[in-house]
A = this chain, B = another copy of it.
Amino acid sequence: MAKQLTKREENYSQWYNDIVIKAELAENSAVRGSMVIKPYGYAIWEKMQSVLDKMFKDTGHQNAYFPLFIPKSFFSKEADHVEGFAKECAVVTHYRLKNDEKTGKVVVDPDAKLEEELIVRPTSETIIWDTYSRWIQSYRDLPLLINQWANVVRWEMRTRLFLRTAEFLWQEGHTAHATKEEAVEEAERMINVYADFVENWLAVPVLKGVKSPNERFAGAVETYCIEAMMQDGKALQAGTSHFLGQNFAKAFDVKFLNKENKLEYVWATSWGVSTRLIGALIMSHSDDNGLVLPPKLAPIQVVIVPIYRKEEQLKAITEKVGEIIKDLKAKGITVKYDDRDTFKPGYKFTEWEMKGVPVRLAMGPRDLENGTIEVARRDTLEKEILSVTDIANKVESLLNQIQDNIYQKAIAFREANTSKADTWEEFKEKIEKGGFVWAHWDGTPETEQKIKEETKATIRLIPINGEKEEGKCIYTGKPSEQRVVFARSY
């Protein structure tokens, strides 16, 4: 394995791709746009899943599972939704293959054509609201708080591992409520859950807000979002939560009998995060030596490498390391002892650095004599020799320090790359440099569209309860009441 990465400064996009491949997180498959998530990458996703799943359950949600396929006609039922989603998607038209007698090859059986084509779900609002029409009759059936872990498919033309793939894994929450207030509260609750998760587990700071109409989810009344800044200054949307109003209830005729015995349409939300979060994780913290993982989500938190020449040295080191492993495990710390005899220590160091293991311990014969151990932290690449006494506690505290340090570093980076612009010239210049630009906007989709065409920047979010400030739109000069956040984005 050639360990050399492309440097961020040389080619940021190639650097990202190199890390995904060399840290063995994922790779492209034989199917265009679909990736294989390799065990090390999947282990990160499993950690994310388990934390999020608990957060969802703690906020009253239950998991369920809905069909992969959606009848084509369902997409026509909600006017905005069809515009947004029934476009680039995988269409199942037949249900059988057969052997071609002439060529001996497998061909699609023309007799097995479906009456109505099935769409591989790009998102599940339609099939779920069709189901909810059978589940919801009375106010007693509400609120209905359901989440699904699933794969979805959107036929993307330009794909990038984790960030944009044809098939991806995600969770999608779909809730039904008796009142508008409750549904809005739910949508806000879930964007807060996402912000909490991304900041406290991924160690990625986010801005919270709502989308402009241009960037809103197809079928939503309001889209709440969290936006993170990557190391190239671009924004990445890390999660969204939608207040769907009564749009899907009306499209699928979902009414409930309220306490006054009157029929009303149900209010809805949906919210989701995906394997894209792994992309955000990689791009936020990693460096030119490879992946840097937040300890809380690292599949391996500590790796221990023995340094030895003779077998009996290894044996003595292994015995001492055994005690350390036991102490670390007792603290719930995931530890790997890399005693492979097919690789040298230097090779192993480079490999675990590439894979972003937060703490590396190394122990040689001299350490054994002196009662010491070498401790290297991945985030700063600093090394020190510590007494082996009480090492598990020291490592535990170091893991917490690393989690905090990479978070603070990401905050500092974002602050350093955030600015205000008050004129069109200033705006263009700052957008060109990258980062978030706070600017006044006249509130119209047309202006946002023109700004996008001229600068490739979009409104990433409009702050909720943000600071009010009288100003003039940078593009039209029309009056504006608050600044919004512009950036180029993934």
A-side interface residues, number (CB < 8 Å): 64
Contact across chains for A65 and B36 when beta carbons are under 8 A apart = yes
Q: Take A69-B34, A120-B120, A167-B69 as given contacts and tell me if A64 and B89 are in contact as well, using a CB distance cutoff of 8 Å.
A: no
Within A70-119, the residues touching B (CB, 8 Å) are: 70-76, 82, 86-99, 105-106, 108, 117-119
Q: Shortest beta-carbon distance, A42 to chain B, in Å?
A: 5
Please tell me if the beta carbons of B90 and A30 are within 8 angstroms of each other in the complex: no
Complex CA–CA separation, A478 to B401 (angstroms): 76
**A332 proximity list for chain B (CB < 8 A):** none
Q: Interface 1/0s, chain A 302-331, versus B by CB < 8 A?
A: 000000000000000000000000000000
Chain B residues contacting A67 (CB-CB under 8 Å) are: 29-31, 34-36, 167
Q: Are the CB atoms of A43 and B63 closer together than 8 Å?
A: yes
Q: Which residue of B lies closest to A39 (CB)?
A: B62
Taken together, the copies of this chain in the complex come to 2
Contact at A151–B68, with CB atoms within 8 Å?
A: yes
Q: List, in ascending order, chain B residues with CB within 8 A of A38's CB.
A: 64
Give the residue name and chain of the B residue nearest to A153 (CB): B68
Contact B75 A92 (CB under 8 A): no
| Measured CA separation A35–B65 after assembly (Å) | 8
**Cα A97 to Cα B118 with chains together (Å):** 11
A400 interface hit (Cβ, 8 Å): no
Interface hits, A367-384 → B, CB 8 Å:
none
Nearest chain-B residue to A119 (Cβ)?
B97
Do A88 and B95 form a contact, CB below 8 Å, given A31-B127, A71-B30, A120-B120? yes
A63 — nearest CB in chain B belongs to which residue?
B42
Contacts of A71 in B (CB 8 A): 30-31
- The one of B70, B92, B342 that contacts A120, using a Cβ cutoff of 8 Å: B92
A155 within 8 A of B: yes
A347 at the interface (CB under 8 A from B): no
Least CB distance, A115 to chain B, in whole angstroms? 10
Interface residue from B31, B97, B108, B117 paired with A69 (Cβ < 8 Å): B31
Contact B70 A31 (CB under 8 A): yes
Chain B's closest residue to A118 (CB) is B31
Contact partner of A96 (CB less than 8 A), chosen from B39, B76, B106, B155, is: B155
Is A69 a contact partner of B90 (Cβ separation < 8 A)?
yes
Given contacts A75-B97, A117-B108, A167-B69, contact A64 B91 (CB under 8 A): no
23 contacts across the A-B interface (CB closer than 8 A): A29-B66, A29-B130, A29-B131, A30-B130, A31-B67, A31-B70, A31-B71, A31-B118, A36-B66, A39-B63, A42-B62, A65-B169, A68-B120, A68-B151, A68-B153, A69-B167, A72-B108, A82-B99, A89-B95, A89-B96, A90-B94, A91-B93, A140-B342
Give the 5 A-B CB pairs with smallest separation, nearest first. Answer: A34-B67, A39-B62, A37-B65, A91-B94, A95-B155
11 more A-B residue pairs beyond the given contacts A73-B106, A92-B93, with a C-beta to C-beta distance below 8 A = A29-B130, A31-B67, A36-B64, A38-B64, A68-B120, A68-B167, A75-B97, A86-B106, A91-B108, A93-B108, A140-B342
